[in-house]
Chain A
Amino acid sequence: MADEALFLLLHNEMVSGVYKSAEQGEVYVPGFLFHKEHHDLQENGRCITKLENMGFRVGQGLIERFTKDTARFKDELDIMKFICKDFWTTVFKKQIDNLRTNHQGIYVLQDNKFRLLTQMSAGKQYLEHASKYLAFTCGLIRGGLSNLGIKSIVTAEVSSMPACKFQVMIQKL
């Protein structure tokens, strides 16, 4: 489907836009309190948060549209399955390859060929940049779950591209 290309390019632009504006707005003064690494780390955190927040809003909107005509979910696991199948398929054109849980509120969603990473070199070269391209999706999951009444923290990790794992920690109310 053609308009997928548009989304992929837009997502790339969002990532590079957020990071570029962080670079330009840099007010780093070499001082005795700050280390450059520390500052960069903070800056990176801010960018990730921004992307995550955008994803969150999109997730909220999408889940409302997707669940308009679905039956009520049985339980938490049922919701997670919906995210892994229907939600993932609509957004990324494939299902999550593996869903694991400890039955105590932690779910690990594994995608062996994550759409937003497939355009990058599969070697180790860009591994450290992968997190930029996962933040939006973390937000997407968190936003979707949030509108289904589940509060969560979502993190992602990549050990070898383009596979990645999203870890969902449910926050018990």
Chain B
Amino acid sequence: MQLGPAHPIPALCPDLQKSSELFTLTYGALVTQLCKDYENDEDVNKQLDKMGYNIGVRLIEDFLARSNVGRCHDFRETADVIAKVAFKMYLGITPSITNWSPAGDEFSLILENNPLVDFVELPDNHSSLIYSNLLCGVLRGALEMVQMAVEAKFVQDTLKGDGVTEIRMRFIRRIEDNLPAGEE
């Protein structure tokens, strides 16, 4: 016999849906504008990553304050927190975590549906645009603030005809705090 949750989990409340549309549409307008401002897609990708980074370094504070998540003991725990708490909180989705490297320093976040691309279709002349690249920047920036240098990049994207969207995360190193001499 299978048991369901005692209280039916309500569908995404309409308010949340509406305001995530605000984010989705705003993001769309931003990417469109950047495509006009920059001549090639690589520059747009870079810009999106940079903006994401700036958002990430600030967002982490909001995240820690809201989520009450403590220190992670290893990268696996970090992966869990990112997927189950952070993505859920800010984008309303829970990506699955797969493809761990044997050394445990790389994994993939699989996004079944990516809210950023809800209303998006890529025109043919932007084949190298990484539309959601902001997310990689956010992840990199946020983790940097908790002493983790990571690399994040899209390896699959539904916008480009792949079945799912996949972000590959690689742990690079722990960032040691360099305190000024004479301070504890």
| Chain A interface residues (CB < 8 Å from chain B) | 1-7, 9-11, 13-14, 16-18, 21, 50, 53-55, 57-58, 61-62, 65-66, 90-91
Contacts and interface: CB of A to CB of B under 8 A. Distances in A.
Contacts of B58: 9
9 contacts: A3-B90, A3-B91, A7-B26, A9-B54, A10-B26, A17-B47, A58-B22, A65-B18, A91-B22
A90 B51 contact: no
Given A10-B27, A90-B19, A91-B22, 14 more contacts: A2-B62, A3-B19, A7-B22, A7-B23, A14-B30, A17-B30, A17-B51, A54-B33, A57-B25, A57-B28, A61-B28, A61-B119, A66-B18, A90-B18
Contacts of B146: none
Nearest to B27: A10
B32 A57 contact: yes
Given A17-B47, A57-B25, A58-B29, A1 B19 contact: yes
B66 A11 contact: no
Contacts of A57: 25, 28-29, 32
A13 B56 CA distance: 11
Q: Is the interface of B mostly helix, strand, loop or mixed?
A: helix
B54 A6 contact: no
Nearest to A9: B55
Interface residues on B, range: 20 to 34
Contacts of A5: 59, 62, 90
B94 to A, nearest CB: 14
Nearest to A7: B23
Contacts of A16: 54
B142 to A, nearest CB: 11
B81 to A, nearest CB: 14
B26 A2 contact: no
Contacts of A6: 23, 55, 59, 90-91
Given A3-B23, A13-B51, A91-B22, A54 B29 contact: yes
Contact of B21 (A17, A50, A65): A65
A4 B91 CA distance: 10
Nearest to B115: A3
Contacts of A62: 21-22, 25
Interface in B1-29: 15-16, 18-23, 25-29
